[in-house]
């Protein structure tokens, strides 16, 4: 199985049973193929315009991958593979949140980088992979598979609204609305708007909104410079006037969004690894 | 001046004074250049999958333009040019709404078609042109130039939110929130979400939301088939649960959206020409 075959298998198995052992094994094998592929690719240091972060890029035939945060990326593939074994054995509790974030970042960005180097202008494949990847981790942790649409009742009869992932633990239990994005930029208002529709249809507080993102980097390929594109004032307006997101998890959290933990309206932004330890307390 | 030079002039003059006579003259000249350009281009009939609509496409060197609605397009360029003279002379009242819609459709889509045939994958230029085009017509009719951002006050001090066009007639008078899109698809939720933010910041009913769109066609170039992509159930959910748009104007209105005039929640969807006759009564 090569990376692209693995991606097709991930989509097929993910649609059948996203939280399954089969999906875990596919993700693990995709990572192994990605790390083999990247072994002999040149790495180029990038100029970072982001305070306290350093980035590099993989190269092939003059083409550059997206920016990779040097401190988030685990170069030792054996460590990443043993992480996936731990996930399979249900031993996540034995790890630190920061380790989980690091190994998830490495797995996710390795796939994105392979697509950057092998495909032209393909944003869809990394985005879809990342959605299945996060969907699997959530389904495994919450013990329920997600839906991708939600019923909407009105007086003329029902219809259904396509949404991001919705994990529904059943009657009387928590329901999670989980949009997943490799980066947000100006499209992020959709996340709050969908949360608003769910609040309107089902009542405030019924769905717990959790946004999951990979990173907010942008690479200027000509200058080989990396910036982070963050719009914290807009996020604050959305959190004040559209709906309330309960958590935003990042694999490479931007400092400007981490600061939203401390201002009004509070938006709790955290590294993804925290999710696995606090999720049971989130409905409270 | 060629079409591309005209586009650059439109942006420069539009930023300086969008409702001005200078902008009107630039739009008129851009249309003249576009109609000259299209004179000798082959026209190919397309297979319409949309009931009661017929489409064609302009061709150049094997490349296809977007689909053009045959009944909305005015082939006689002299008629379109005399329309722009009437706009300049303030004689719009003497025209039928359907004529205004037709001449505006022809002007806007002619520019889009030239870009389709001359540029690769350029969606931005047609979108920007259409925004300036509609912005000019609104500014001329309402007698005020729009802003593209809105102040947001909070207890820690103010910040501003980038928005679509906002036309503000001043203290105690109507304020219009006018998003402009060549087509909407899945991005349209942003329109209702921005309206929601304005409702939250300034109070319900303070801003009158008016969405303006060109068309919702999609051309399958391989099959030469045209479909309309419409999501009326989603629009109804947004109108029920996010905010209320007061009008949606189309240059080529999809039947599925016109039906929203008759269902709950009511969304008034009309051909653009109606705007010029009813705008003074909209705040009521």
Q: Chain A: nearest CA to B149, how far in angstroms? A: 12
CA distance B175 to B170: 8
Question: Which of B196, B202, B232, B265 has the most A C-beta neighbours within 10 Å, making it the best mutation to test the interface with A?
Answer: B196
What the block records as the tokens of B252 is 């080529």
Across the interface, whether the CB atoms of A236 and B201 are under 8 A apart is answered: no
Across the interface, whether the CB atoms of B264 and A154 are under 8 A apart is answered: yes
CA distance A170 to B232: 29
What the block records as the tokens of B21 is 């006579």
Give the model's pLDDT for residue A150.
80
CA distance A38 to A52: 25
Peptide bond into B261 cis (omega under 30): no
Across the interface, whether the CB atoms of B193 and A197 are under 8 A apart is answered: no
Q: Chain A: nearest CA to B254, how far in angstroms? A: 20
Grouping H, G, I as helix, E, B as strand and the rest as coil, residue B102 is helix
- Full pLDDT tens readout for chain B, 284 residues: 899 999 999 999 999 999 999 999 999 999 999 999 999 999 999 999 999 999 999 999 999 999 999 999 999 999 999 999 999 998 888 899 999 999 999 999 999 999 999 998 899 999 999 999 999 999 999 999 999 888 776 666 667 778 889 999 998 888 999 999 999 987 899 999 999 999 998 899 899 999 999 999 999 999 999 999 999 999 999 999 999 999 999 999 999 999 999 988 999 999 999 999 999 888 76
Q: B196 — contact with chain A (CB < 8 Å)? A: yes
What the block records as the tokens of B127 is 């979108």
What the block records as the tokens of B28 is 């008129």
Size of interface A-B (CB pairs under 8 A): 80
pLDDT tens readout for residues A77-115: 999 999 999 999 988 888 999 999 999 999 999 999 999
Angle at A111 between CA A106 and CA A113, to 5 degrees: 90
Q: Chain B: nearest CA to A195, how far in angstroms? A: 10
Residue A117: which residues within 8 A CB-CB, separation 6 or more? Answer: A41, A58, A59, A60, A63, A65
Q: Where are the alpha helices (DSSP H) in chain B?
A: 3-16, 21-39, 77-88, 97-118, 124-142, 189-202, 232-241, 255-258, 275-278
Residue numbers in B near A236 (CB within 8 A)? 154, 159
Q: B264 — contact with chain A (CB < 8 Å)? A: yes
Q: A40 — contact with chain B (CB < 8 Å)? A: no
pLDDT of A20 above 90: yes
Q: A242 — contact with chain B (CB < 8 Å)? A: yes
| Prediction pTM value | 0.91
Q: Chain B: nearest CA to A12, how far in angstroms? A: 24
CA distance B228 to B244: 24
Q: Report the DSSP beta bridge partners of residue A249.
A: A212, A270
CA distance A227 to A236: 21
Across the interface, whether the CB atoms of B241 and A194 are under 8 A apart is answered: no
Place of tokens 């500014």: B139
Other beta carbons within 10 Å of B66 = 23
Q: B83 — contact with chain A (CB < 8 Å)? A: no
ipTM of this model?
Answer: 0.87
């Amino acid at each position: 199985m090569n990376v692209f075959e693995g991606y097709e298998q991930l989509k097929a198995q993910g649609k059948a049973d996203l939280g399954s052992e089969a999906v875990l094994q596919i993700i693990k094998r995709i990572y192994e193929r990605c790390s083999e592929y990247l072994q002999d690719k040149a790495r180029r240091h990038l100029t970072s315009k982001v305070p306290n972060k350093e980035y590099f890029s993989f190269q092939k035939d003059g083409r550059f991958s997206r920016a990779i945060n040097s401190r988030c990326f685990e170069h030792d593939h054996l460590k990443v593979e043993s992480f996936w074994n731990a996930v399979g054995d249900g031993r996540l509790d034995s790890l630190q949140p920061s380790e989980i974030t690091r190994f998830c970042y490495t797995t996710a960005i390795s796939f994105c980088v392979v697509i950057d180097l092998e495909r032209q202008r393909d944003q869809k494949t990394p985005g879809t992979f990342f959605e299945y990847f996060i969907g699997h981790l959530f389904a495994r942790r919450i013990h329920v598979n997600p839906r991708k649409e939600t019923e909407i009742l009105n007086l003329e009869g029902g219809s259904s609204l396509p949404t991001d992932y919705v994990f529904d633990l059943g009657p009387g239990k928590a329901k999670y609305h989980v949009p997943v994005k490799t980066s947000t930029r100006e499209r992020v208002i959709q996340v709050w708007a969908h949360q608003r529709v769910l609040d309107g249809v089902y009542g405030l507080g019924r769905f717990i909104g959790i946004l999951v993102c990979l990173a907010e980097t942008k690479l200027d390929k000509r200058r080989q410079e990396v910036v982070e594109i963050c719009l914290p004032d807009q996020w604050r307006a959305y959190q004040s006037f559209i709906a309330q997101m309960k958590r935003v998890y990042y694999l490479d959290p931007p400092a400007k969004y981490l600061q939203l933990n401390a201002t009004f309206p509070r938006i709790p932004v955290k590294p993804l690894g925290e999710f696995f330890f606090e999720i049971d307390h989130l409905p409270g």
